[in-house]
Amino acid sequence: MRTAIYPGSFDPLTNGHLDVIQRATKLFNRVVVAVAKSDSKQPLFTLEERLKLVQKAVRHMPNVETDAFDGLLVKYAARRSATAVVRGLRAVSDFEFEFQLALMNRKLDERVETIFMMPKDTYTFLSSRIVKEIARLGGDVSAFVPAHVQAALKEKFAVTPA
Ligand code: ADP
């Protein structure tokens, strides 16, 4: 039984994240998508909202679980009996940070391997940050996120009448 953790802020989940999840399910018996509290990043969506958006997107995938976590990733991975951490690599710009993170996690617990997955090329430009910016400005994000995430973004940025 091989379990991988796919950690992230998922603020909110995008089709790029889903692409990575789908790829990871081909390599592992169980993939736990772990939504990090990420308070320091001042997320747009609350932890509960982010978790719900992920849950709805993966509910048709039998070997995918969802969870929320806070604190050290390697400790969480050990608690979930995971042998690997999955991260997505979009471009060279992701590399430096991800490399540092992976090596630091290895220092903290050398039993956990980090696996990098490349998304479909059409998703390499996609990030939660850009999706939020487009949605905030009233742009169409339907090609980048599942429909329920699009609806949640619309609601977040709805102008409340005075
Ligand atoms: P974090 O705050 O941990 O960076 P994110 O939700 O932004 O959380 O990303 C989680 C992981 O998913 C990271 O490894 C990130 O590089 C990866 N990721 C984000 N967007 C994409 C995408 N479009 N394609 C592939 N990987 C992605």
Question: Which CATH number covers residue 144?
Answer: 3.40.50.620
**DSSP bridge pairs for 84:** 4, 113
The SS3 call for residue 46 is coil
How many domains in the chain?
Answer: 1
78 in a structural domain: yes
Ligand 1 neighbours by CB, cut-off 6 Å: 8-10, 14, 16-17, 20, 38, 87-88, 90, 94, 119, 123, 126-128
The reply to whether 107 belongs to the active site is no
13 in a structural domain: yes
Structure confidence at residue 55 as a pLDDT band (50, 70, 90): very high
The reply to whether 41 belongs to the active site is yes
Q: Which two tokens stand for residue 40?
A: 């320091």
pTM of this structure: 0.95
Structure confidence at residue 91 as a pLDDT band (50, 70, 90): confident
105 in a structural domain: yes
Instruction: Please tell me the distance between residue 127's alpha carbon and the centre of ligand 1 in angstroms.
Output: 7
Structure confidence at residue 161 as a pLDDT band (50, 70, 90): low
CB 146 within 8 A of CB 18: yes
Does the pLDDT at position 160 exceed 70? Answer: no
Residue 81: give the domain boundaries.
3-156
Average pLDDT, the chain: 95
In degrees, rounded to 5, the angle at the alpha carbon of residue 31 between the alpha carbons of residues 87 and 48 is 85
Q: Indicate the helix (H) or strand (E) that contains 21.
A: helix 15-27
**DSSP bridge pairs for 69:** 36
Instruction: Please tell me the distance between residue 162's alpha carbon and the centre of ligand 1 in angstroms.
Output: 37
